[in-house]
Amino acid sequence: MSGVFYGVGVGPGDPELLTVKAIKAIEAADVIIAPKTEKKEGSVALTIASPYLKPDVEILTQVFPMVSDTEILTEAWASNKQTILTLLAAGKKVVFLTLGDPMFYSTYIYVFRLLGDSGYPIETIPGITAFCAIGSKLGYPLVEGNNILSIIPATIEQDKLDKALALSDNVVLMKVYKNYQDVVAKLKRHQLADNAVMISRCGLPGEEVVHELHTAGDKKINYLSTILARRI
């Protein structure tokens, strides 16, 4: 029997925000893959999915390095791909967990492409993104009417960030942990700071909401942090 590969979005943090389809896939899995970088201990995605794991499921941690060294990346990806293919050849149901949605800034996208010509069936199960969860949690409409919503990684080139902020009525800023103070300054410059809010670790232990962005000061911003901002 042929194995099946599932990419499952586990949402932003609250285990109750998983879809019924995601839960069914996790409960039926023979192998759960929990991706991580070499810098992190444990897997947030695995913690979120833990209420739905069957007792005898095999849990496999795969490291996906966040480095620019092509040789290291190629070796790691090739090794991870071969491990997955071996499991699928054995007829296993393999679930690859990912925070949020699998097709949104996710490591899963690269795995999906790597396995695209493998001949094994692949099913991608969507998940709730952090910014959607934040909007609902805080009663913060993301976009209305004919307004423009831009989803922006704060790590892009500064001129591109300025252009995106200038054109947008509402913004979702991802990856703000690297240059938080610069991001806040740009939001002020584009009249987007007064109606902005940041939430870190949405739905997870240690969740923090910051309505006045300047009050964060110079403290280290959590990796799982997102800013919502609007002009009105």
Residues 145-156 pLDDT 10s:
998 999 999 999
In this prediction, residue 166 carries a pLDDT of: 93
What pLDDT band is residue 35 in, cutting at 50, 70 and 90?
Answer: confident
pLDDT tens digits for 168-227? 999 999 999 988 999 999 999 999 999 999 999 999 999 999 998 888 767 789 989 999
Distance CA 16, CA 4 (A): 25
* Contact call for residues 112 and 7 (beta carbons, < 8 A): yes
93-98: strand order across its sheet: 58-63, 31-36, 93-98, 4-9, 122-125
Q: In whole angstroms, what is the distance from residue 169 CA to residue 45 CA?
A: 32
The 3-state secondary structure of the chain, one letter per residue: CCCEEEEEECECCCHHHCCHHHHHHHHHCCEEEEEECCCCCCCHHHHHHHHHCCCCCEEEEEECCCCCCHHHHHHHHHHHHHHHHHHHHCCCEEEEEECECCCCCCCHHHHHHHCCCCCCCEEEECCCCHHHHHHHHHCCCCCCCCCCEEEEECCCCHHHHHHHHHHCCEEEEECCCCCHHHHHHHHHHCCCCCCCEEEECCCCCCCEEECCHHHHCCCCCCCCEEEEEECC
Q: Which CATH superfamily is domain 130-230 in?
A: Tetrapyrrole methylase, C-terminal domain (3.30.950.10)
pLDDT in tens, 64-88: 766 555 556 667 778 888 999 999 9
pTM of the model: 0.88
CATH number of 4-125: 3.40.1010.10
Which of these, 151, 177, 174, lies nearest to 164 by C-alpha position? 151
Domain boundaries, the chain: 4-125, 130-230
